[in-house]
Amino acid sequence: MNKVMLFGQRFHKDDLMLPTEEYYRRRQRSGGPGRWMLFIVVVLAVVIAAIGAEVNAQELSDRADVDAASLEMVTLDEVKAGDLLFIGAKVGRYTPAVHLASEVKVAIRGLVAEVRLQQEFKNTSDNWQEAIYALPLPEQAAVAGLQIQLGERLIVGKVRERKKAAKVYKAARAAGKRAALLEQQRPNLFTNKVANIAPNETVQINIRYLQSVNYNSGVFSLRMPTTLTPRYIPGKPISPQVLSGDELELVTENNGWALPTDQVPDATAITPFMQPAQELQVLGSHNISIEVDLYGGLPLAKIDSPYHQIDIDNRGDGRYRIQLRDGTAVMDRDFLLNWQPRSSAMPRAALFGEKITAEEGVEELAGAYLQVMLLPPNNGTGAQRLPREVIYVIDTSGSMSGNSMRQAKESLTLAIARLHSNDRFNVIEFNSTTRAFFPRPVAASAENIHSARQEIESLNAEGGTEMAPALRMAFGQQMQDDTSTVQQVVFITDGAVGNERALFELISQSLHNARLFTVGIGSAPNNHFMRKAAQFGRGTFVTIGDTSEVRERMQTLFTKLESPMATDLQLSWPPGVVADAYPKRIPDLYSGEPMQIVAKVQGDQLHGDIQLRGRMAGKQFVRKLALKIEGSSDTMGIGSVWARSKIEALRDQQLQAGEQSDAGEALREQILQIALSHQLASPYTSFVAVEEEVVRSAEEKLSRSSVTNMVAKGQVLQRQAYPQTAIGLYGQLLAAAVLLTLAAIFQRGRVLRVNLVRTLRRFLRGFLPDPRQLSGDSPVERGGV
């Protein structure tokens, strides 16, 4: 058949003009690069959009299946109550469980506080649940007990090696047994998991921990966090395909808003979801009651709590009972209790002891434990003042938005106003980027201070918290060999970072002759970072939780910055007494700071004088304290505090040696044995509790749930769904849209180019002769028609 049918019309095959080989060669030359560019752009757009979509999908893919039909679904914006949010089958939708109450009972004896924290949750869904929540605790807390009460059943936790505890917990969870697991993620952040909570069942979680009482400038204090500031996660997100077994398991076993990164591989375990206070207060959620039994052994002149209203009941004999005035308070800020002795009873030294007798299986615990406090003399105020070179570093990241930014700016303004004419200074602000006000430190002249104040007023909180570049710049600006000036770095931040250990290492390596002072800002700062950064920086720290105390707290810091220090401190024990005391090396003490140590002592005769020697303002001094141990019920817990301090010291050694080195592995074994002996949670040990009875059948599904923390007072909620070092989910989608637009342009590029050439030809033909006619090469001569 010689006919070809096209769209209903008949053509003879000889009438068809088929493409020639030359046509294909020209098409390949003209369209090849553009097509490859189009292909690459489209692939990039699809990949980026897929990554952005996978962020939220990944949070659900590793969790247990949920029967969506049986659940009443609400969005985060619709949540009006509940601390326990059960994750549903749809991305971004949750089923709430009501948080009933939290209760804290504190017993303060001498320099040790025993805290019992009780939290109750109720599973309001129709499914069996596993609850996961992040628990903020004091940075030096020695967690010594865990109990989970489910209905009438009580599960008592025991300490095991971390990996073994996790295996025991997962086996019990899979078998349908009630179980609980308490793991330390950071010294001030723990993760608690409770498996197999029945529908409509109330869960009671009891945590017991011990902590040292702080003493500074004549005031005792105790701080207890109730929420946290979301940590910034630096680094590049790690694909699940490149994670090791332990790291991949960490991702699937925790419910955080961040994915692991190369700098924070455990990001998912330290980034709990947050909710605004107004969403949680409607039904009375996230309320806490606090009761303190205080017996400091001294007559007191004042007791106060700067962030809460309290009632005080003086029970005589130096004992006080403190409660919240309204019975409960919202869990949106740290609880801080201060008590000040009368001037006539102001302590210059204190010693408390605890004796532990040998018992079966815990013979290594036997011994005498001491807690010692000694104050250096206060006679250095007349010393000559040396000129200072101060680098002020201010955090302007997104987590500092709201009241935190106002507190930071006011603190910095007060700080530069205190400078003398012979001082030098500079100001560095940082968020995702770092910027210095001046290229180098400048003289503290009226003109330079005025210029700095104008810059400070224009600061805004936005972006990420990239601390490392700011620290490097601050330390790099100071002359390392200059001994004629006092070199100081004042770091103003909320400390909301997840890579603390890397920053501590940076401080240790880059400090040189400078001293680092940290100012903790906000209602729930990362006090672990504040204290340890100042420790590695051979400085000190203060915290500012409210705008009303900026001037007072900064004045405390100014006194430390401008007063002589007690240096070259050494502690000697009586002959025949062998002491294992911490910290091993007593740091320099600033004005109003006492020497505080905890020690385990051994010897045939524990008596004599403990002596503290040092120098202040160029003069030597000696302080003495009689060694006297009287173990009683009022001084229990010192052994746990000592073990916690020793673990911290060993971890600091690991930081310097490297955790994966031979020395680091040896230190790990020491930490593990101490934690097991004293039954404490640590980086290598966890509390696990398992009930032997099977309560959930294999046919009934188990759903995993996450627990929100309340946004701290004065902070602005930032909905995190992706590590802050990346451009975020919406940024991912925007980038994909831009690339697809470029793809469309490339697709139309050839047509646009042809139209442009035709237009240009018509324009030129209007006033230029045809070169083909000038050469005689006309269409007629070429046989054209």
- Residues 375-388 have pLDDT tens digits of 988 765 555 678 89
Mapped onto helix, strand or coil, the DSSP state of residue 595 is strand
Instruction: Determine, yes or no, domain membership for 535.
Output: yes
Residue range of the domain that includes 47: 30-51+732-774
Instruction: Measure the CA–CA gap between 717 and 712, rounded to whole angstroms.
Output: 9
Q: How many residues does the chain have?
A: 785
Residue 286 confidence (pLDDT)? 83
Does 508 lie in the same domain as 475? yes
Instruction: Measure the CA–CA gap between 722 and 716, rounded to whole angstroms.
Output: 18
Does 407 lie in the same domain as 333? no
Contacts 24+ apart (CB under 8 A), 450-457: 452/416, 452/425, 452/427, 453/413, 453/416, 455/427, 456/394, 456/409, 456/412, 456/413, 456/427, 457/409
CA torsion, points 718, 721, 725, 726, in degrees to nearest 10?
-120
Q: Assess whether pLDDT exceeds 50 at residue 91.
A: no
Q: Assess whether pLDDT exceeds 90 at residue 435.
A: yes
Q: Which amino acid does the sequence have at 220?
A: F
Q: Which amino acid does the sequence have at 566?
A: A
How many independent structural domains does the chain possess? 3
Does 323 lie in the same domain as 417? no
Residue 775 confidence (pLDDT)? 47
In which band, very low, low, confident or very high, does the pLDDT at 506 lie, cut at 50, 70 and 90?
very high
Cα–Cα separations (whole angstroms), residue 268 to 253, 255, 265, 505: 9, 6, 8, 23
| Omega before residue 771 within 30° of 0, cis | no
Partners of residue 159 on adjacent β-strands: 687
Residue 59 confidence (pLDDT)? 39
The CATH number given to whatever domain includes residue 522 is 3.40.50.410
Instruction: Measure the CA–CA gap between 463 and 451, rounded to whole angstroms.
Output: 24
Q: Assess whether pLDDT exceeds 70 at residue 743.
A: no
Please state the φ and ψ torsions of residue 729, each to the nearest 5 degrees.
Answer: -65, -50
Please state the φ and ψ torsions of residue 655, each to the nearest 5 degrees.
Answer: -60, -40
Does 290 lie in the same domain as 406? no
Residue 783 confidence (pLDDT)? 40
Does 709 lie in the same domain as 737? no
Number of other residues whose CB lies within 10 A of the CB of residue 244: 10
Instruction: Measure the CA–CA gap between 592 and 220, rounded to whole angstroms.
Output: 12
Instruction: Determine, yes or no, domain membership for 155.
Output: yes
Cα–Cα separations (whole angstroms), residue 68 to 74, 89, 287: 12, 6, 30
Q: Which residue would you say has higher pLDDT here, 498 or 762?
A: 498
Instruction: Measure the CA–CA gap between 132 and 192, rounded to whole angstroms.
Output: 6
Q: Pick the closest to residue 597 from 562, 569, 575, 577 (CA basis).
A: 569
Q: Pick the closest to residue 97 from 120, 117, 121 (CA basis).
A: 121
Q: Pick the closest to residue 488 from 383, 420, 393, 583 (CA basis).
A: 393
Instruction: Measure the CA–CA gap between 454 and 567, rounded to whole angstroms.
Output: 38
Q: Assess whether pLDDT exceeds 80 at residue 428.
A: yes
Burial class of residue 575 in the structure, from the number of CB atoms within 10 Å of its CB (0-12 exposed, 13-18 middle, 19+ buried) = exposed
Q: Which of 156-170, 452-466, 645-659, 716-730 has the lowest mean pLDDT?
A: 716-730
Instruction: Determine, yes or no, domain membership for 138.
Output: yes
608: tokens are 């004599």
Residue 432 confidence (pLDDT)? 93
Instruction: Measure the CA–CA gap between 73 and 95, rounded to whole angstroms.
Output: 5
The C-alpha angle 335, 338, 344, rounded to 5 degrees, equals 175
Instruction: Determine, yes or no, domain membership for 633.
Output: no
Does 182 lie in the same domain as 79? yes
Instruction: Measure the CA–CA gap between 499 and 172, rounded to whole angstroms.
Output: 33
Does 736 lie in the same domain as 720? no
Does 298 lie in the same domain as 442? no
Q: What's the mean pLDDT when you consider all of the chain?
A: 81
Question: Token pair 């173990």 is at which residue?
Answer: 631
Q: Which of 55-59, 208-212, 533-537, 637-641 has the lowest mean pLDDT?
A: 55-59
- Across residues 704-718, what is the average pLDDT? 81
Instruction: Determine, yes or no, domain membership for 324.
Output: yes
Does 707 lie in the same domain as 738? no
The CATH number given to whatever domain includes residue 114 is 2.60.40.1730
Percent of the chain with pLDDT over 90: 51
CA torsion, points 737, 739, 742, 744, in degrees to nearest 10?
-60
Does 741 lie in the same domain as 695? no
89: tokens are 């089958």
Does 419 lie in the same domain as 314? no
Does 320 lie in the same domain as 202? yes
Instruction: Determine, yes or no, domain membership for 573.
Output: no
Residue 512 confidence (pLDDT)? 86
Number of other residues whose CB lies within 10 A of the CB of residue 116: 16
Q: Which of 709, 726, 743 is the last residue of a domain?
A: 726
